[in-house]
Chains A and B, each alone.
Chain A
Amino acid sequence: MAQRDTEQSFDESGGGVAEEEIESRVGLRYTLSQVRRDPTAMFGLYVVGFMTAIAIFAAFDHYVLDYWFAETFWMHPHRDPSNIQRLLPPAWSENVFGEGIWKYPLGTDHRGRDVLVRLFYGTRIAISVGFLSTAIGMVGGTIVGAVSGYYGEWIDDVLMRAVETLYAIPFLVLVIAFMAAFGRELVYAMIGVGIVQIPTFARLIRSRVVSVREEDYIEAARAAGVRDSRIILRHVIPNSFAPVLVQATLQVGVAILIVAGLSFLGFGAQPPTASWGQMINQSRDSMIVNPWFSIWPGMAILITVMAFNMFGDGLRDALDPRLQN
Chain B
Amino acid sequence: MTKDKFEKLTEINRRRLMKGIAGVSAASMAGCIDQFGGSEGGTLNFAQEKSPIEFDPVVLNDVPSAEICQYVYHGLYEYDDTTGHVPALATDMPEVNDAQDEYVVEIDGDAEFHNGEPVTAEDVKHSFMAPLEEETDNANEVSMINSIDVVDEQTVQFNLEYAYAPFTYTLHRNIVPKAARTDDKEAFNTENPIGSGPFEFVDWTEGEFVEIERWDDYWGDTQPNLQTVEFTPVEEGTTRITTLQNGDNDVIKGIPPDLWSEVEGMDDASIQQVAGVGYFYLAFNCNDGPTTDPTVRQAIDHVFDMDQAVSNFVEPTGVRQYSPYPQVLIDEWDFPIDEWKSHHNEKDIDKAKQLFDEAGVSMDYDWRIIVPPDDKREQIGVTVSNGLQEAGFSNTEVQRLDWGAFLSQYITGNADDYNMYTLGWSGVPDPDSFAYFLLSRAEDTLAITNGTYWGENSDKGVQASEKFIEARSSDDFDERRQLYIEGTNLVMEGKPHIPAYSLKNSFGVRSNVSDFAAHPTDQFHLVSDHNNVSLDE
Contact = CB atoms under 8 A, between A and B. Distances in A.
Interface of A: 66, 78-80, 84, 86-87, 96, 110-112, 184, 266, 270-272, 282, 284-290
B353 to A, nearest CB: 16
B308 A284 contact: no
Contacts of A266: 373, 400
A288 B259 contact: yes
A78 B389 contact: yes
A270 B373 CA distance: 12
B399 interface: yes
Given A285-B258, A286-B259, 11 more contacts: A66-B394, A79-B389, A110-B379, A270-B400, A282-B375, A285-B256, A285-B257, A286-B258, A288-B238, A288-B241, A288-B262
Grouping DSSP codes into helix (H, G, I), strand (E, B) and loop, the A interface class, with mixed when no group exceeds half, is loop
B236 A272 contact: no
Contact of A270 (B242, B256, B394, B397): B397
Contacts of B399: 184, 270
Given A271-B378, A271-B382, A271-B398, A284 B261 contact: no
Interface in B116-132: none
Contact of A271 (B238, B312, B400): B400
Contact of B386 (A79, A110, A284, A288): A79
A287 B238 CA distance: 7
A111 B373 contact: no
Contacts of A290: 258
Nearest to B390: A79
A31 to B, nearest CB: 44
Nearest to A272: B382
9 contacts: A78-B389, A96-B262, A184-B399, A270-B397, A270-B400, A272-B382, A285-B259, A286-B238, A289-B259
Contacts of B236: 284
B237 interface: yes
B312 A87 contact: no
Contacts of A270: 397-400
Nearest to A289: B262
Interface residues of B, number: 30
A184 B236 CA distance: 22
B51 interface: no
A273 to B, nearest CB: 9
A84 B308 contact: yes
Given A271-B378, A284-B236, A284-B238, A289 B383 contact: no
Contacts of A284: 236-238
A118 B390 CA distance: 18
B505 interface: no
B163 to A, nearest CB: 45
A110 B400 CA distance: 17
Nearest to A86: B312
Contacts of B308: 84
Contacts of A285: 237-238, 256-259, 375
Interface in B398-426: 398-400
B327 interface: no
B237 A112 contact: no
Contacts of A87: 258
Nearest to B309: A80
A111 B390 contact: no
B385 interface: yes
B373 A80 contact: no
A179 to B, nearest CB: 11
Nearest to B381: A271
B269 to A, nearest CB: 14
Nearest to A293: B258
A317 B386 CA distance: 48
A183 to B, nearest CB: 10
A84 B312 contact: yes
A98 B373 CA distance: 29
B417 to A, nearest CB: 13
B261 A289 contact: yes
Nearest to A110: B258
Nearest to B257: A285
Contacts of A271: 378, 382, 398, 400
B318 to A, nearest CB: 15
A290 B389 CA distance: 28
Contacts of B398: 270-272
Contacts of B390: 79
A62 B283 CA distance: 29
Nearest to A112: B312
A289 B259 CA distance: 7
A271 B369 CA distance: 11
Given A87-B258, A288-B259, A289-B258, A111 B382 contact: yes
A87 B261 CA distance: 13
A213 to B, nearest CB: 48
A80 B262 contact: no
A177 to B, nearest CB: 13
B398 to A, nearest CB: 6
Contacts of B386: 78-80, 272
Contacts of B237: 284-285
A187 to B, nearest CB: 13
A190 B88 CA distance: 57
Among A266, A285, A290, max chain B CB count under 10 A is at: A285
A46 B308 CA distance: 44
A110 B238 CA distance: 14
A133 B63 CA distance: 41
